[in-house]
């Protein structure tokens, strides 16, 4: 499964991904859910802000008012290659801007991106903050 994009808001998760079927066909799917993400997924997504601020130092002075809410992934073969981030910045005046970065490869903290991709895969497979959706519950005897 290849995660194409991940969007987190305060009350929803949206993950677009490609999934290869056993017959060789590739399905492009989007999962939209109101189920809370696991703490691991939310923490991995939050780590993108540090990566963003390393790459785009001009935003460092505004880091308290910077909110990233979407990441897109590009692959070379089956390996993660580049990402693009979408977010917003709110100024003290109350005015805000939305932005999307061009495609770039994060030199620093690549492990954070890999962790985010792993957690997004787990979410698609049913791992949520509340429960694991697709695990068979054992009956207490």
Report pLDDT for 136: 55
- How far is Cα 113 from Cα 67, in angstroms, rounded to an integer? 17
- pLDDT at position 141, please? 46
Residue 71's contacts (CB-CB under 8 Å, 6 or more residues apart) are 5, 6, 7, 45, 48, 83, 84, 85, 86, 116
Q: Which helix (H) or strand (E) holds 87?
A: strand 79-90
Q: What's the pLDDT score for residue 99?
A: 95
Give the burial string for 54-79 (b: 16+ CB within 10 Å, else e).
Answer: ebeeebeeeeeebebbbbbbeeeeee
Tell me what pLDDT residue 79 has: 83
Average confidence (pLDDT) per 10 residues, the chain, 141 residues: 93 93 91 90 91 90 93 89 94 92 80 90 82 54 46
Using CA atoms, how far residue 5 sits from 61, 63, 64, 84, in Å, is 27, 23, 24, 9
Q: What is the CA radius of gyration of the chain?
A: 17
């Amino acid at each position: 499964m290849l995660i194409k994009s991940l969007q987190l808001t305060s009350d929803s998760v949206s993950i677009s991904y490609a999934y290869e079927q056993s017959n060789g066909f590739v399905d492009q799917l989007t999962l939209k859910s109101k189920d809370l993400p696991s703490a691991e997924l939310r923490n991995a997504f939050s780590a993108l802000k540090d990566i963003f601020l390393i790459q785009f130092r001009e935003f460092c002075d505004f880091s308290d008012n910077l909110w990233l809410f979407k990441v897109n992934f590009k692959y070379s073969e089956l390996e993660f290659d580049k990402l693009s981030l979408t977010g917003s910045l709110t100024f003290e005046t109350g005015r805000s801007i939305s932005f999307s970065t061009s495609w770039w490869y994060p030199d620093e903290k690549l492990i954070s991106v890999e962790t985010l991709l792993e957690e997004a895969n787990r979410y698609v497979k049913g791992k949520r903050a509340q429960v694991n959706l697709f695990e068979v519950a054992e009956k207490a005897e």
